[in-house]
Structure 1
Amino acid sequence: MKRRKSIIVAMLCVSLLSTACAASDSDEGTAGKDAGAQQTSEAEKEQPKEKEYQGKLNLIQPSAYNNVDDLNLEPGSYLSIIGKGDGGAYWEEVKKGAEQAVADLNQLLGYEGKKKIKITYSGPSETDDIDDQVNILDEELARYPVALAISVSDASACEVQFDLAAESGIPVVAYDSGSDYQGLMATVSTDNDASAREAAARLAEEMKEEGEVVIFAQDTKSKAAQIREAAFKEEIAANHPGITIVDAYHMDDLSSWQDVVAAEMNAGTYQPEDAALAGKETVLPEELTEEQVVDYIFVKHPNLKGIFGTNIDALKLGLAGVERAEGDEISVVGYDIDTEMKKALKEGQVDGLIVQNPFGMGYASVVASARAALNLGNEAVVDTGYTWVTKKNMKDEAVKKVLY
């Protein structure tokens, strides 16, 4: 009997010991998991959060222009950035990018108060006003910045000022739209040739490779507009034989078109539906609005199947003409984006957009300007990238990072 009790006691001891060991192992496992989770949490905290604008900087090539490392500008240095306009989503993005680059510089160099590097963004109150831009350039050169970056409205308008800048030791960088001036330190821009060719190919696809196209261009004078129009035409001619470009309207050539439309109206070969013009025996060219001229273009090309806008202003002008003509079958592509164009994409009024990287342009322009001021040398061309945006992909994370 005693032996039986001893065996039972021994068995109970073994059971209790096993339970204790299991509990101990469980506690150690839980503790290990907790420690691992804590380490993971700490690692996540230490991981630097990606800047909200980093996606825009990542598009810039060479990558040396997407950061401000090793740009040791003197305290109080002044940089000037001049755009084609003083308002609008595009130029606001350029300004933000430039200001962010300077903020990053000041943080990196530890400059505060009066020692901070300063920057001014300025542009004509009316976009593409060449005379106003030249006046602004004169004023900025008189402030003797350590370097200046400018989006040139007229490729041949600023050469005298660029010569003066060189004489004063002020390096000049072009961005967005450049110039043939030989003394520019760098050109920071979209690859206008490649992007316009892509726009042509995308439009041809939307048109099923056949039909007539009209180009709407912002001007005849800026380098960007010239390159885009030429590249678009070349791509269509070389690779899309079923498509014909039947007209090109330039927004700085309104008066010539007013003459054409007025002459046809007065000869009785064109009768607009516009009630404001009905019943007039003689129409003066200057009486015609740009919208009435655009309407004339659509009437003269009843088989139109596509339009291409070389910038957002030209695109909006053409799109408004499509809507007035009730051209539901007309495909529309062009450059740049804002709230209105996002809505047009979502509603199917626009088929696709070449979205540039104005934030990246502003940022890289500051980097190029700083490098020029420090005699570090620059790449001749800095490519700030672009993104093809459609209704289908505009919600993709990668695309959302570059929208504005």
Structure 2
Amino acid sequence: MNETMRVKKMQNKKISIVLSVILLLSAVLSGCEQVTQVQQKPYIAVVAKATESRFWKSVASGVSTAATEYGVKVTFEGARNEEDYATQNDLIMKAVENRAQAIVFSAIDANKSLEAIQEARKAGIHVVIIDSGINTEDIDLEISTDNYAAGEMAADAVLANKAQELKIGIVNFDINSANGRQREEGFKNKVLQDKRAEIVDIINVESNISSGNKGTKRMIEEHPEINVIATFNEWTSLGVGYAVEEKEMLEDIQVVGFDSNVILADMLERGSVDALILQNPFSIGYLGIENAYKLIKNNKQSETVIFTDTTLITRENMFDENNQKILFPIENE
């Protein structure tokens, strides 16, 4: 009888050990499955022109919102300034090394990042262009403002000026930036249809306030007949606005700029700037991630170009309810 009990105890112990091993293996396998699920979370690298302007902060907000909604891992990095294409190329190669499944990219220079993008494509990475394009058709999709049409919208704002002569100066940013060139082209082609219009001078400055300010003051000094200035991004708009204030020429020069922030809205209200073409950077960022995710999942995209909205804001309509929402959007920090 005692021998039988000992046998049963041994059998029960063996059963306990087997059950413990099964439970342990189950836990290990479950943990591995969870790790695999994390590893399988799609990774999208966003390489922006910059990160500090109101425009790019709004893009980042759109990116963050879409990343949360679609359950993707996202990195959002940009160059030190909007002339620093070399850092952008380094970030593209970093995304390749980190096995990103898609890169969302805004090109500082339409030519200087071609090789890096080609390397990403060779690695099988989807490429979605946002805001400013690159000189290759080997991308999946481009999402941006219709920059040519936005330039035409700026021209419409100038042509609303009742002056008998429109002596125009243009302050653009990097000559190799595709969106700046397209805005300038749309602006010139539209404004020169009016016989009153003459383009007196065109300058390209670095995409920062100081360069825009100095370039504008120099242009005004060299061409005192200028009574209209058109400029095509947030930093140059600030530089031009400050220059007009410092020259005390608010009543003499009409300024049409692009984008907005608290300072530009204040300039618009007090007359340093007369009109702003506002893009939809939140949508650009959101749609960039949304469509990159779709490409990762489906490996195809029916559209090749998506244009987002633009709005002309003037002193006369800036306090309209809808325009206030565009000037001062509520976004994720």
Name stretches of at least 5 consecutive residues in structure 1 with no aligned partner. Answer: 1-72, 107-116, 255-287
TM-score of the pair, normalised by structure 1:
0.68
Structure 1 position 324 matched with structure 2 position 279 = no
1:252: Cα distance to partner? Answer: 4.3
1:228: Cα distance to partner? Answer: 0.7
Structure 1 position 246 matched with structure 2 position 200 = yes
Alpha-carbon separation, structure 2, partners of 1:252 and 1:289: 6
| Structure with bigger gyration radius | 1
Alpha-carbon separation, structure 2, partners of 1:139 and 1:154: 19
1:294: Cα distance to partner? Answer: 3.4
Alpha-carbon separation, structure 2, partners of 1:190 and 1:353: 14
Q: Pick closer, same or farther for the CA change 1:373–1:253 going to 2, 3 Å.
A: closer
Which of 374, 394, 398 is matched with 2:318 structurally?
394
Q: What are the residue-to-residue correspondences of 1:286-325 with 2, within 5 Å?
A: 291-325=213-247
Which of 85, 108, 133 is matched with 2:88 structurally?
133
Contact between 2:42 and 2:296, CA under 8 Å: does it hold in 1?
Answer: no
If asked which structure has higher relative contact order (CA below 8 Å, sep 6+), I would say: 1
Structure with higher strand content: 2
1:325: Cα distance to partner? Answer: 2.1
> Counterpart of 1:21?
none
> Counterpart of 1:219?
174
Which of 33, 38, 51 is matched with 1:86 structurally?
51
- Percent sequence identity is 27
Q: What are the residue-to-residue correspondences of 1:329-368 with 2, within 5 Å?
A: 329-368=252-291
Contact between 2:48 and 2:76, CA under 8 Å: does it hold in 1?
Answer: yes
Q: Pick closer, same or farther for the CA change 1:216–1:290 going to 2, 3 Å.
A: closer
Of the structure 1 ranges 288-297 and 159-168, higher mean CA displacement relative to structure 2 is found in 288-297
> Counterpart of 2:27?
none
Cα RMSD (Å): 2.2
1:74: Cα distance to partner? Answer: 8.9
Name stretches of at least 5 consecutive residues in structure 2 with no aligned partner. Answer: 1-37
1:95 maps to amino acid: A
Q: Pick closer, same or farther for the CA change 1:170–1:387 going to 2, 3 Å.
A: same
Deviation string 1:162-184 (CA, Å, 9 cap, x unpaired) is 21111111010100001121111
2:186 maps to amino acid: A
1:206 alignment partner, SS class: coil
Contact between 1:176 and 1:189, CA under 8 Å: does it hold in 2?
Answer: yes
Contact between 2:145 and 2:309, CA under 8 Å: does it hold in 1?
Answer: yes
Contact between 1:371 and 1:378, CA under 8 Å: does it hold in 2?
Answer: no
Alpha-carbon separation, structure 2, partners of 1:338 and 1:253: 16
Alpha-carbon separation, structure 1, partners of 2:206 and 2:276: 23
Contact between 1:207 and 1:305, CA under 8 Å: does it hold in 2?
Answer: no
Corresponding residue pairs, total: 288
1:402 alignment partner, SS class: helix
